[in-house]
Amino acid sequence: MKKKTTDSLKIDELLTRGVSNIVDKNSLRQKLQSGEQLRIKLGIDPTGPKMHLGRSIPLLKLRDFQELGHQVVLIIGSFTGQIGDTSDKDAERPMLSEEQVRTNMAEYVEQISSILDVSAVEVRYNDEWLSKLTLSDVIRLADGFGLHEFTSRELIKKRMEAGKRVNLRELLYPLMQGYDSVAVKADVEIGGSDQWFNLLTGRTVQPLYGQVPQDIMVLQLIDGTDGQKMSTSKGNTCFLSASAEEIFGTIMSIRDELIIPYFNLLTRVPMAEVAEFEKQLKAGENPRDIKEKLAIAVTSIYHGVGDAKDAAANFVSVFANNERPTELPKVQLTAGERLLADVLVDADLASSKSEARRLISQGGVKVDDAVISEPGAQIAVRSGIVLQIGKRRWAEVEVDG
């Protein structure tokens, strides 16, 4: 384990960069300054097989803790992923099967390794303890909370006022997340601002089991390329496992007002440099030039500086000179007549069939340079055809066999 750091400037940045709230801030600062090694918890539910850039915000914060010498405890929600958290949803999230969750989480550790030193991370799966809870255990957990605490949450309240169904299962999710903190003996839990209620449950549950309440660090959320909250279902983000060209192109497509928040949350470019970029933008500097620096910084995290700079050169060639990329990623597909929406999912150009249909209906899909706008369209899959999504995502087909 790396030697613990108590440098006040590094601690100050840890406690402020991308942070919207801390409970209890004085307690956490004192612990960090004491040199005590803390157990820092983050839970991630495998609701889909790929993590997008918004997920990098808490992962980068974990890396900050890791670099100060603290023990990162990453909980992958092999059990809670089945229940479903609706903290940020305006409708009930459907339950997932155990098989779906296992499929989704198959490559999570690999994706996380692009940010964290996984060899030093304590990776846990919460079916290890949640699947063993008895009804008596659940009753003990539930006794610490009032129904009004749950129903007063903004999105739940809106759903109830609109006459939308609120499943009793949804009441159990925060209890499970709180018990996760007990199971791993968390000193600190981090999460997005949409997780406020869930994060607080750990502080309520831990004393029931003789543990000191964890401090919680609430992180800012980030908007996607369209200015709305970043979400895979909205198609306004990019996956951590995407190519250097795709990540670079995604960052170059964001609105100018997102440049500084992206620097702050999605990179670890020194804050003094970020402040200078902000100053330059206010003085009239061309946003594109600073956005290119941002795109290189983000892409470098996942692919290294060399590939990020190559992606920048490719971006200029494709967009400034209106050229097709010189090298296209290859995808192996089965030959024959197939629904274009299915082909896009299999080619890893869309995360789901619904997203593929939306992209097609919006006119954002080309096959061999021809726009296809009928969601139910079929195409003849053969070697050599080129699939394109928008202006920055491409794939050349190679048929199996």
How many other β-carbons are positioned within 10 Å of the β-carbon of residue 46?
A: 24
Confidence of residue 326 (pLDDT cuts 50, 70, 90): low
Q: Are 54 and 238 in contact (CB under 8 A)?
A: no
pLDDT at 90 over 70: no
Angular region, 304: left φ>0, alpha ψ -120 to 50, beta rest = left
Residue 252's identity, in one-letter code, is: M
pLDDT top residue among 186 and 346: 186
* pTM (two decimals): 0.80
pLDDT at 1 over 50: no
Confidence of residue 329 (pLDDT cuts 50, 70, 90): confident
Percentage, residues of the chain above pLDDT 90: 52
Q: Are 122 and 74 in contact (CB under 8 A)?
A: yes
Ranked by mean pLDDT, the top range of 27-36, 154-163, 378-387 is 27-36
Percentage, residues of the chain above pLDDT 70: 94
pLDDT at 85 over 80: no
Q: What is the mean pLDDT of residues 4-21?
A: 90
Q: 359-395, pLDDT tens digit by residue?
A: 888 888 888 878 888 888 888 888 888 888 876 678 8
User: How much is the pLDDT for 273?
Assistant: 97
Between CA 261 and CA 136 the distance in angstroms is: 46
Q: What is the mean pLDDT of residues 283-296?
A: 95
Q: Where are the domains of the chain?
A: 8-219, 242-320, 330-399
Q: 248-281, pLDDT tens digit by residue?
A: 999 998 999 999 999 999 999 999 999 999 999 9
User: How much is the pLDDT for 401?
Assistant: 58
Residue written as token pair 């969601």: 375
Q: 91-133, pLDDT tens digit by residue?
A: 667 778 888 888 888 899 999 999 999 999 999 999 999 999 9
Q: What residues are paired with 337 via a beta bridge?
A: 380
Q: Are 115 and 56 in contact (CB under 8 A)?
A: yes
User: How much is the pLDDT for 147?
Assistant: 86
User: How much is the pLDDT for 324?
Assistant: 65
Fold of 330-399: 3.10.290
Look up the CATH superfamily of 242-320: Tyrosyl-Transfer RNA Synthetase (1.10.240.10)
Q: 137-155, pLDDT tens digit by residue?
A: 999 999 888 888 888 877 7
pLDDT at 3 over 70: no
Confidence of residue 323 (pLDDT cuts 50, 70, 90): low
Q: Which CATH number fits domain 8-219: 3.40.50.620, 2.130.10.30, 3.40.50.720, 3.40.50.2300?
A: 3.40.50.620
Return the axis-axis angle of helices 56-67 and 259-266, rounded to nearest 10°: 50
Q: What is the mean pLDDT of residues 193-214?
A: 93
Between CA 360 and CA 369 the distance in angstroms is: 14
pLDDT at 346 over 70: yes
Cα–Cα distance list, 65 to 22, 121, 162, 340, 366 (Å): 15, 11, 42, 44, 44
pLDDT at 2 over 60: no
pLDDT at 89 over 80: no
User: How much is the pLDDT for 33?
Assistant: 93
pLDDT top residue among 7 and 28: 28
User: How much is the pLDDT for 331?
Assistant: 85
Q: What is the mean pLDDT of residues 282-299?
A: 95
Q: Are 33 and 7 in contact (CB under 8 A)?
A: no
User: How much is the pLDDT for 225?
Assistant: 83
